[in-house]
Structure 1
Amino acid sequence: MREKIFEPLGISDITFYPTPEMQQRAATLSTLSATGAGPAVDAPDFDMLFGATECLGGGGAFGSAAGYFTFLQAVLRRDPKLLTPESYDELFKPQLDQQCKKAFNEYIRSSPAHTQYIGMGLPTDIERTWSLAGMLCEQGQEGGVVEGTYMWGGVPSMTWFMNPKAGLCGVAFCQILPPMLPAVLRLHDGFRNAMFERHDKVNK
């Protein structure tokens, strides 16, 4: 990843093995109650690697907001330093057939917890599918998520979004547990929606 992604993009502060200097700069994790009630309490013993000793495909990287956003922007503009045009096409292509997509959306709707964690707290009537880039919203909603938006998140309640058609991407960092609390997701939704509103005003 350092050779193929980070160095070509000039990113020096994303790694699975943080240096002592990076560890000193790392934001601390805090936790709220299971219902999202405060006050927030430090959670210094939370293991972001979940006991793993090797790099995880789904987590475990340490990095700065600037470094992560640099990567996100590179993917949005299809930077040739990373992938070929054909690989970008595959990256953004929906990967689920109709049967799998139906099962995926039913799974999201199956419980409030699934809607919160897997569905990113979005309304359950929005049809979603999955791509190699992340979850893809095939439908939009007035005042809400825009059609064609890719998104996903991480355990400490960070989220990112990307809409290639609009040429817009963003990331919201948060270091709060439990993951994807509704109140936190509402903040993320407000940020994402405000970015699209500003984009629409600028491009009218």
Structure 2
Amino acid sequence: MSAAQNLPRRIVVGITGASGAVFGLRTLQICRELDDIEVHLVVSRGARSTIHSELGIQVRDVLDLAGVVYQDNDLGAAISSGSFVTAGMIVAPCSIKTLSAIANSYDDNLITRSADVTLKERRPLVLMVRETPLHRGHLRLMTLAAESGAIIYPPVPALYTLPSSVDEVVDHSCRRALEQLGVFVAGTRRWNGATADA
């Protein structure tokens, strides 16, 4: 067995300042409920403001859900190196600014540097891009990022689950996004085929 196989399953989570801080929060909560996941978290400066305004909680409440927390300007952090083994990274939510930086390998903060490392090491990078409507520039950036290996995962609601609340929509979106990193959560509702009209 290799040394890497003995390591805990590490996942890097980046939360940017795009609207939708709840996706980052729920992603952390889901990972916290699993025994075999070690979360390494980076919260951007913009995200700190969004967390407070959208969620009505303190940033510390979010940071406390992670195993390891880094400052977004700490380019010397462990997760900035490909030699630090992870199962991948998820940016939830992902702002267009961050998408642009990742698509163009512009590593000016720890979120974008970690994302670039994830791509160069051929690990899954999930970008929960939050913007609508999308103009051609946004679409080009998504294509560019995808061509480098990123998984573009806008948090589009899965209405086949017949959600009864926003919380259910958010929870399902985060569960399905985490599956792109090999993290599967028991009880996730799935499409089992259409039923015939009664």
Higher relative contact order (Cα pairs below 8 Å, separated by 6+ residues): 2
Judge same fold: TM > 0.5, yes or no: no
Larger radius of gyration: 1
- Larger proportion of helix: 2
